C-alpha cells in the first residue's frame, strides 16, 4: 500500500520505517525542515536501537522517504496516519496538533478522487476520533464519512524495544464505525500474523489508555507495598515480589510440565511488578492524568488512578527524604546521580524520576554530578537547562568524592559495579541509594559503603 504518516516523531518515524520494511511505500510528513533533511540523509533524529539501520535500508530501496509537503503526500497515498504529539496541558490532553493535522488532511481530500482512509495513531482520549477528527474532516473535505474512511489505530511501542514491538506485534487494534474503513485499513497489517482486535472508534481509544494505566498501576502498587515494607522494617521488597511472582497465575508452568520441573513462562508484565523510584517517559505520566481528567469531565471520579499518580509523584521524594535523614542534611554534600533517561536504551528524559530527585538535592543545597550513557545532552537542553550541575563523562568520575550515589536508571552497565573501587573513590562510609534494586546489600556493605534501597529498611548494617 501507499501510506502517508503525519508526524515524524517517535511513533510516526518508527511506524513508517517498519511499515516500509514489510513492503509498503511510506512517506512521513513533518514541518521541521532540519528533521526532514536528517531523515532523508539516513540519520534518525531520535535514538532507538536498530532504527537508523532500517531507515537507511528502506531509503535505499525507495520504499520510504520524508517530506515537508503534506498535500502531495496525502494526494499520492491511499491511507494517512495521524501520528502527531498529544501533550499534556494542566493534566488534560492537548489536541491542537491532531486538530491541525485533520484540518490539513481534509483540505487535500476535498479535491482528491477515490476512497482515502484517515487513521488516528496518536494517543487520544475516547471520543476524539468521532467528535473531533470526524467533524473537522467532514467540514474541510466537504464530504461525509463513507466518502472517506476513518479509523483509530493506537500504538503499543516500548522505547528501546520499539522495532521489535512493531515488527512482531502481540495484537493490532483497529477502531472504526463502518465496515469499509476497517476493510481497507486492515490491509496495512496484512504482512503481520497476530490477532486484529476490531472495535468501534471509542473502544480502540480506551484500549490504549487502559493498557498504559494498568502498567502505571502495577508500578505504583509495587511501590506502595515497598513503602509498607519500609515502614514495618526488616522486610525486603525484593523477597516479597519474588514470592509474588512465583504464583502460577503470574508465572505459569510450561504446558505439559509438572510443578516439580520448574519450567516456567516469565511474562514481561512482571517487569512492572517491581519496586523502584517511579515511572517516567512520554506515555504513562501523560496518559494516566489525561484519562483521569477526561473521566472527571464525564462526571466520574477515578479514585484509584488518582492514587496511582500520587504514589508515583511521592516515590522519588520519599527516597531522597531517607538520604537526607541518613546524611543529617544535604547542604554542601556531593551527590552523584547515575541515570537520567527514564529507562535504559533511550535518551528520553521526559518526566524522568531523575528530575524530582535532582531538584530535591539542589533545593537542599547539595552539589550534584550526573551521568547517563545517552541522556545527558537531552537533559542539558531541556529538564536541567537552568540547573547548576556537573555533567560527568563516566559513572566513576561522577561518583568521585561523593557522599552519596543515587542510582536512578537500570542501565546494564550500572548492574555490575566494582564496589571496592567505588568505595575508594567516594567519601568514607558513603551511601549507595539503590533506586532500582540492582544490587545485593551485602556486596555494597562489605565494600565499606552504606546502603539505602527502595523497599528495605533494616537495622544499620556494618561490614
Residues 6+ apart with CB under 8 A from 94: 86, 87, 88
The vertex-85 CA angle with 56 and 289, nearest 5°, equals 135
Residues 6+ apart with CB under 8 A from 218: 269, 272, 273
Strand arrangement of the beta sheet that strand 450-453 belongs to: 390-391, 367-371, 334-338, 404-407, 431-434, 450-453
CA 450 to chain centre: 32
Closest alpha carbon to 297 in 86, 85, 91, 88: 91
Kindly name the residue from 18, 28, 283, 292 that is annotated as catalytic. 283
CA 193 to chain centre: 25
Kindly write down the DSSP assignment for every residue of 79-128, as one continuous string: EEEE-----EETTEE--HHHHHHHHHHHHHHHT--S--EEEE-S---TTH
- Cα dihedral 448, 320, 384, 293, rounded to 10, equals 150
Active site annotation includes 283: yes
Closest alpha carbon to 428 in 463, 394, 389: 463
All cell numbers assigned to 415: 548492574
Residues assigned a catalytic role = 283
Amino acid at each position: 500500500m501507499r501510506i502517508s504518516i503525519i508526524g515524524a516523531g517517535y511513533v510516526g518515524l518508527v511506524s513508517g520505517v517498519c511499515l516500509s520494511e514489510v513492503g509498503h511505500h511510506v512517506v512521513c510528513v513533518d514541518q521541521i525542515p532540519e528533521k526532514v533533511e536528517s531523515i532523508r540523509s539516513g540519520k534518525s533524529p531520535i535514538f532507538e536501537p536498530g532504527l537508523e539501520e532500517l531507515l537507511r535500508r528502506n531509503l535505499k530501496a525507495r520504499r520510504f522517504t520524508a517530506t515537508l509537503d503534506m498535500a502531495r503526500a496525502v494526494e499520492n497515498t491511499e491511507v494517512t496516519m495521524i501520528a502527531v504529539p498529544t501533550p499534556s496541558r494542566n493534566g488534560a490532553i492537548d489536541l491542537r496538533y491532531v486538530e491541525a493535522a485533520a484540518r490539513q488532511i481534509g483540505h487535500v481530500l476535498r479535491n482528491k478522487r477515490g476512497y482515502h482512509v484517515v487513521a488516528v495513531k496518536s494517543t487520544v482520549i475516547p471520543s476524539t476520533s468521532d467528535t473531533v477528527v470526524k467533524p473537522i474532516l467532514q467540514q474541510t473535505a466537504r464530504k461525509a464519512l463513507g466518502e472517506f474512511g476513518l479509523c483509530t489505530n493506537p500504538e503499543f511501542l516500548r522505547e528501546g524495544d520499539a522495532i521489535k514491538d512493531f515488527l512482531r506485534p502481540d495484537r493490532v487494534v483497529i477502531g472504526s464505525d463502518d465496515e469499509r474503513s476497517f476493510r481497507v485499513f486492515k490491509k496495512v497489517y496484512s504482512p503481520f500474523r497476530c490477532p486484529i482486535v476490531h472495535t468501534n472508534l471509542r473502544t480502540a481509544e480506551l484500549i490504549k489508555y487502559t493498557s498504559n494505566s494498568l502498567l502505571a498501576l502495577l508500578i505504583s502498587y509495587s511501590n506502595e507495598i515497598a513503602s509498607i515494607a519500609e515502614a514495618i522494617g526488616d522486610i525486603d521488597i525484593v523477597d516479597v515480589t519474588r514470592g509474588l511472582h512465583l504464583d502460577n497465575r503470574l508465572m505459569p508452568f510450561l504446558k505439559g510440565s509438572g510443578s516439580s520441573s520448574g519450567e516456567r513462562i516469565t511474562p514481561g508484565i512482571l517487569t512492572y511488578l517491581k519496586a523502584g523510584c517511579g515511572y517516567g517517559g512520554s506515555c504513562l505520566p501523560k496518559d494516566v492524568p489525561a484519562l483521569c481528567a477526561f473521566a472527571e469531565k464525564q462526571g466520574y471520579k477515578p479514585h484509584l488512578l488518582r492514587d496511582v499518580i500520587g504514589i508515583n509523584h511521592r516515590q522519588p521524594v520519599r527516597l531522597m527524604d531517607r538520604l537526607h535523614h541518613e546524611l543529617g542534611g544535604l547542604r554542601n554534600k556531593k551527590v552523584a546521580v547515575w541515570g537520567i533517561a527514564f529507562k535504559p536504551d533511550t535518551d528520553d528524559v521526559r518526566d524522568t524520576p531523575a528530575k524530582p530527585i535532582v531538584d530535591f538535592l539542589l533545593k537542599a543545597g547539595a552539589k550534584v554530578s550526573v551521568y547517563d550513557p545517552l541522556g545527558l545532552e537531552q537533559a542539558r537542553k531541556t529538564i536541567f537547562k537552568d540547573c547548576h550541575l556537573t555533567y560527568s563523562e563516566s559513572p566513576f568520575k561522577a561518583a568521585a568524592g561523593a557522599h552519596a550515589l543515587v542510582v536512578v536508571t537500570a542501565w546494564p552497565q550500572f548492574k555490575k559495579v566494582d564496589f571496592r573501587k567505588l568505595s575508594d573513590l567516594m567519601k568514607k562510609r558513603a551511601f549507595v541509594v539503590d533506586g532500582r534494586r540492582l544490587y545485593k546489600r551485602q556486596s555494597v556493605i562489605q565494600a565499606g559503603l552504606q546502603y539505602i534501597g527502595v523497599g528495605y529498611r533494616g537495622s544499620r548494617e556494618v561490614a
